[in-house]
């Protein structure tokens, strides 16, 4: 109920109370006049009959309709004046104090029932004038002290009543204004609540699926349901074709419908194209013949449409169109509701399209990577077989009994043998990389005596004689790992150190730290530039420099080290060597093996010490 209706109901109650009191007073007056025998006097009977007619009019008047207009105040003024006149007739049959109360009641009635302050004052003046006539009586001379006092008291009481009524009326008006304000806010909050509910329902569609074809009908269905539309369609702008593409599926009466191949060129100038180019919403509740020629609208059999732009910040990415509203026509309220949903819908659709595009590209890249890996693996296998024969033949030709006598020919054989071995190493690296990528690298752990193992690895690397120092702690003397993979790791690290730190002393440490065996290859060369620290284990990464230009290499060595280490459950990291150089450390699980009652027992040392804390991972 509005504040205006509440005030009207209040005045109606005052009027009903006034009707009851007027009826009771009129009946009491008639009874007294009959009992006194004065009713036959024409001077009495005429006003009594007039009062009766007026009372009937008061009782039968349509007060609800009257009080809603200015005529209601006029009717109450006449009614109040009639009551004052009736009190004048009762002057002879009632004491003055009773009449004073009755006249004050007229003032109270005027203050309570009237809405216009001027009419309220006029009726109060009539009541005071009539009471003055009662006090004056039949003599029109000067008032005595008693009568003057009564009149002053009456006027004072009436004025106080009017002042109090004015304050109450002012407070009622303030309350009414506040109620109107509260009602307005309630309407706004209700609309905001509905909007937030629609946004919440729309946001839930983000989690309904990871594919645009799953999310799209959910979004369009919720948007169409918010304005009771039968059909919902999303059109996305394709810059390459300068056209709006209808996204499939579309939403029709609660069901999805495939709609492949619909494109609306901007040059055609249809309704949706104009919405996209202008960025303004359009309502068409009666599609005219020229606009109905749009083939897409004809296929939809659309009779009404409401289209709004899909906007992300200041950029329009498409159009959201609703068609056919069974329970009426599209209105400006529908436009406001649809625009409030168009922004979030555009954001969700744009993110889903980007996600799907990235996923499709990722799948294509993964497929290409697999094809590349398979190709490298196949070619490497095919190359390794003939290369093994070539290396064997060259080794045979280098035997003394078969070696050519010409020194130049012997040098050529040595060069060919060296380059063939280099090619074999490259092919093996490619095979290892292929298996790492396919996660098809077998790990066959064995118990390894590190001192002899590392010495053999150093011996197999050229240009390391006399420059490598081994430092193995007793706790790290044994390691259970794959010897082939560990050998390739150490060999690649040594080759890397010899290549980038030529003529530099090299150190290989073996330590047990934090439940791991740390194998460190340390050189004292120029070190690695700071900008390459985070990329040193990436494939095809090489440190450029005049010293290393003639060394060759593919940049796969450190990448293979990381792949093999991780395949065996370990980790590898790089640190600058104090004083210059590079330190590469491989951390593998520290497992030692003993025999007790024929069973293999694996013990792990997880000791921590100060040196490990200083070394860091």
The average pLDDT across 168-183 equals 74
Residues 6+ apart with CB under 8 A from 509: 471, 472, 518, 519, 520, 522
Residue 229 has pLDDT above 70, yes or no: yes
Residue 14 has pLDDT above 60, yes or no: yes
Count the Cβ atoms, other than its own, within 10 Å of residue 119.
18
| Whole-number Å distance between alpha carbons of 277 and 36 | 94
Which domains, and CATH codes, for the chain?
Answer: 3-179 (no CATH), 212-354 (3.30.450.40), 446-615 (3.30.565.10)
| Whole-number Å distance between alpha carbons of 592 and 446 | 10
Residues 6+ apart with CB under 8 A from 84: 103, 106, 126, 127, 129, 130
- Given pLDDT bands bounded at 50, 70 and 90, which one contains residue 570? very high
- Given pLDDT bands bounded at 50, 70 and 90, which one contains residue 211? low
- At 605 the pLDDT is 38
**pTM as predicted:** 0.43
| Whole-number Å distance between alpha carbons of 565 and 481 | 10
Residues 6+ apart with CB under 8 A from 454: 470, 472, 490, 508, 510, 519
When comparing pLDDT for 165 and 577, which is higher?
577
- Given pLDDT bands bounded at 50, 70 and 90, which one contains residue 549? very low
- At 562 the pLDDT is 92
Count the Cβ atoms, other than its own, within 10 Å of residue 519.
27
Nearest to 457 by CA among 495, 503, 422, 513: 495
- Given pLDDT bands bounded at 50, 70 and 90, which one contains residue 601? very low
Sheet strand arrangement including 516-522 = 468-472, 506-513, 516-522, 582-589, 571-576
Residue 591 has pLDDT above 70, yes or no: no
127-169 residue pLDDT tens: 777 777 777 664 455 556 666 676 677 677 777 767 776 776 7
- At 143 the pLDDT is 58
For residues 217 and 249, the answer to whether their CB atoms sit within 8 Å is yes
- 77 is written with which tokens? 């003024």
Average pLDDT of the chain is: 77
Backbone dihedral region for residue 553 (phi beyond 0: left; psi -120 to 50: alpha; all else: beta): left
| Whole-number Å distance between alpha carbons of 147 and 483 | 131
| Whole-number Å distance between alpha carbons of 279 and 524 | 67
- Give the range with max mean pLDDT: 255-264, 445-454, 589-598: 445-454
| Whole-number Å distance between alpha carbons of 228 and 330 | 9
The average pLDDT across 358-367 equals 77
Task: Please give the full DSSP string across 502-556, using - where no structure is assigned.
Answer: TT--EEEEEEEETTEEEEEEE--SS---GGGTTTTTSTT-----TTTGGG---S-
The average pLDDT across 176-191 equals 73
- At 448 the pLDDT is 93
Residue 38 has pLDDT above 60, yes or no: yes
- Give the range with max mean pLDDT: 1-15, 228-242, 568-582: 568-582
Q: Tell how far CA 351 is from the center of its chain.
A: 12
- 280 is written with which tokens? 């303004």
413-439 residue pLDDT tens: 888 887 887 787 777 777 787 778 777
The average pLDDT across 551-576 equals 85
Cα distance from N-terminal residue to C-terminal residue, the chain? 74
């Amino acid at each position: 109920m509005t504040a205006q209706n509440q005030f009207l109901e209040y005045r109606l109650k005052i009027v009903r109370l006034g009707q009851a009191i007027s009826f009771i007073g009129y009946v009491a007056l008639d009874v007294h006049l009959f009992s006194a025998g004065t009713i036959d006097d024409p001077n009495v009977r005429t006003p009594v009959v007039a009062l009766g007619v007026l009372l009937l009019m008061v009782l039968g008047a349509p007060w609800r309709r009257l009080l809603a207009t200015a005529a209601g105040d006029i009717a109450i003024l006449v009614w109040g004046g009639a009551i004052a006149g009736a009190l004048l007739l009762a002057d002879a049959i009632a004491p003055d104090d009773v009449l004073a109360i009755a006249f004050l009641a007229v003032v109270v009635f005027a203050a309570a029932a009237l809405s216009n302050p001027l009419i309220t004052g006029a009726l109060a003046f009539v009541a005071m004038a009539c009471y003055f006539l009662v006090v004056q009586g039949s003599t029109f001379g000067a008032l005595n002290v008693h009568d003057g006092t009564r009149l002053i008291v009456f006027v004072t009481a009436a004025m106080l009543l009017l002042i109090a009524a004015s304050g109450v009326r002012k407070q009622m008006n303030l309350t009414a204004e506040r109620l109107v304000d509260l009602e307005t806010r309630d309407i706004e909050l209700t609309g905001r609540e509905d909007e937030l509910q629609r946004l919440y329902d729309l946001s839930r569609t983000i989690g309904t699926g990871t594919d645009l074809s799953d999310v799209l009908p959910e979004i369009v269905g919720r948007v169409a349901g918010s304005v009771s539309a039968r059909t919902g369609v999303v059109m996305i702008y394709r810059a390459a074709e300068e056209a709006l593409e209808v996204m499939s599926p579309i939403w029709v009466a609660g069901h999805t419908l495939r709609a492949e191949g619909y494109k609306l060129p901007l040059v055609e100038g249809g309704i949706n194209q104009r919405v996209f180019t202008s960025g303004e919403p359009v309502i068409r509740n009666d599609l005219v013949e020229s606009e109905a020629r749009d083939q897409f609208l004809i296929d939809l059999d659309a009779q009404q449409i409401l289209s709004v732009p899909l906007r992300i910040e200041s950029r329009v990415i498409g159009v959201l169109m609703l068609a056919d509203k069974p329970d009426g026509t599209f209105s400006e309220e529908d436009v406001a509701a649809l625009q409030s949903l168009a922004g979030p819908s555009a954001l969700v659709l744009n993110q889903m399209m980007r996600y799907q595009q990235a996923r499709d590209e990722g799948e294509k890249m993964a497929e290409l990577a697999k094809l590349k890996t398979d190709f490298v693996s196949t070619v490497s296998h095919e190359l390794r077989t003939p290369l093994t024969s070539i290396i064997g033949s060259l080794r045979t030709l280098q035997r003394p009994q078969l070696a050519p006598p010409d020194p130049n020919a012997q040098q050529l054989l040595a060069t060919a043998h060296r380059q063939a071995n280099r090619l074999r190493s490259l092919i093996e690296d490619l095979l290892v990389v292929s298996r790492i990528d396919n996660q098809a690298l077998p790990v066959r752990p064995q118990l390894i005596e590190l001192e002899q193992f590392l010495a053999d690895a150093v011996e197999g690397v050229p240009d390391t004689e006399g420059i490598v120092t081994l430092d193995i702690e007793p706790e790290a003397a044994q390691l259970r790992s794959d010897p082939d993979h560990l050998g390739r790791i150490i060999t690649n690290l040594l080759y890397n150190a010899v290549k980038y730190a030529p003529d530099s002393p090299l150190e290989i440490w073996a330590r047990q730290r934090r439940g791991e065996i740390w194998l460190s290859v340390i050189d004292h060369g120029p070190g690695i530039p700071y900008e390459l620290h985070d990329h040193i284990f990436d494939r095809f990464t090489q440190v450029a420099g005049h010293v290393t230009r003639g060394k060759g290499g593919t940049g796969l060595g450190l990448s293979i080290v990381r792949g093999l280490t991780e395949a065996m459950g370990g980790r590898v990291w790089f640190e600058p060597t104090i004083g210059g150089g590079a330190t590469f450390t491989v951390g593998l699980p520290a497992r030692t093996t003993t025999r007790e009652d024929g069973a293999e027992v694996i013990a792990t040392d997880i000791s921590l010490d100060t040196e490990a804390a200083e070394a860091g991972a």
